[in-house]
Structure 1
Amino acid sequence: MLENLRGIFRKRRRCESDTAPPPPPAKEAEIIPPYPEDIDDETPESNDGFDASWTEEGSFHSPHSDRPFNTSERFVTILDNLDARVEKLRKDALNLQEKKDYLLMSMDLIKSNEMMQNMSEAEREEIILYIQRVSSRLATVELNVRTVRDNSQEDSLSQINVLIDGMIKMGDPVIGRQRCQLYLNACCSSSMDPSGHMDTVHEADVGPIDKKFESVLLGCTLDDQKNIKKRLQALMAYLNKQTVSH
């Protein structure tokens, strides 16, 4: 009888040892690749507030308890982090777009600078060729962060760009500064908050306003209005320096 019991226990141990252990839960790093490091070699935490450990094995536990995440929670956690990184990427790309616009504006200002007219034809041609070379290099940088606009908003933005380009090409820094101030005042007089409510400042508080510019500006998206204001502020800073130098 005792021998029979021993035989049963030995057989059970062999069956248990032959059974494969359950596979470990998948790591996030096995679901998506690790996020590339930033160009300046800063850690993700120092740049965007993310915890670099979100791709590590231990991150598959709920932050509020010791229980493991189920499959759905794991993917939601990954997607939450990806969504936040996408938003940061958009902001970074928009900042780069602003810098590109600044460079384009600077070259337009150089071409329309009145001192160009005081140069000899050979010197002026050399400068123009140099501007063309720099512009060609800048054209190799393509940035496209799409802002959702309807046809009316597209038309409004196009009109704003025409007005600003016309101001830049005036050639007279004093008149250009006056016009820029009118445009900038229009940006400050009427703006829309993120909830969509219009916030209006009385003209006496901001100074004279270009009514045409203001009317067209209000037809632009909120993001476009912010970018237009930044562009005008940079242009005003430049024109102020030009006016002082004269």
Structure 2
Amino acid sequence: MAEEGAADEAEVKKKDKNENLTQALDDLELKVEHFRFRAQKLEQEREELLRELERLQCQSSSPTIDMSEGEREELIGNTERLIYRCLTVDITVHTVRTPAQEAALGKIKQLIADLDKMLKIEDGMDVKRKLLSYLNASLPEEIEGPTDQKFQGTLLQCTADDQKKYRRMLQARADQFLMHEDADSLSGLPKSNGCADKSDAT
């Protein structure tokens, strides 16, 4: 009888120990996910800082801004210094992907690279329509306007994190394109694509 009681007590202790280990692992898993979330937020913050700095840099270069050449050069120089400082911070959250997701991501990267070439050498409604069709295709909700179905289908094969990343990337390019469009319409000069987006190189 005593032996049975001792065996039961040992079994209870073993079960408690296993439950404690399981609980500890669950707690650590929550901490790991929170750590990844904070890293992703920092990654997004870096992108936003770079976009703001590049927007300021482009505005400073615009002839519509009334300032002396010395003031303009100083402002552009300080902006470039801050961009460089921001680029020295490297934050990368790696995403686990299946082979199919890796293949889809490769296609998206190529489509974005082709779009970037268009933005540098082309002008007018064609490139604007292509950019907006990609952006609309990346949005979680349906929206009026052009939507590239092929791009959308490929993007949906990517991970949720990659979908969010390229949605932000396309939004940044659209904002930058419209900013140049507005600045050029005010100045009366041909559209310039001289300000490259450094915040989200693929």
Same topology, TM > 0.5:
yes
**Corresponding residue for residue 76 of structure 1:** 22
Distance between the aligned counterparts of 1:175 and 1:122, measured in 2? Answer: 38
Q: Which has the higher helix share?
A: 2
Distance between the aligned counterparts of 1:171 and 1:129, measured in 2? Answer: 28
Match of 2:95 among 131, 144, 147: 147
Larger RCO of the pair (alpha carbons < 8 Å, separation 6+): 2
Match of 1:207 among 131, 141, 145: 145
Structure 1 residue 77: Cα displacement: 0.5
Structure 1 residue 96: Cα displacement: 1.4
The one-letter amino acid paired with 2:103 is S
**Corresponding residue for residue 52 of structure 2:** 106
The one-letter amino acid paired with 1:138 is C
Structure 1 residue 99: Cα displacement: 1.4
Distance between the aligned counterparts of 2:122 and 2:49, measured in 1? Answer: 18
2:133 equivalent to 1:182: yes
Work out whether residues 134 and 152 of structure 2, in 8 Å CA contact, stay in contact via their aligned partners in 1.
yes
Distance between the aligned counterparts of 1:145 and 1:244, measured in 2? Answer: 35
Match of 1:227 among 165, 168, 171: 165
SS in structure 2 of the partner of residue 143 of structure 1: coil
**Corresponding residue for residue 156 of structure 1:** 107
Superposition RMSD on alpha carbons, in Å? 4.2
Query: How many residues in Structure 1 have an aligned counterpart in Structure 2?
Result: 166
Distance between the aligned counterparts of 1:71 and 1:226, measured in 2? Answer: 41
**Corresponding residue for residue 93 of structure 1:** 39
Identity of aligned residues (%): 31
**Corresponding residue for residue 63 of structure 1:** none
Match of 2:61 among 116, 121, 142: 116
Q: Which has the larger radius of gyration?
A: 1
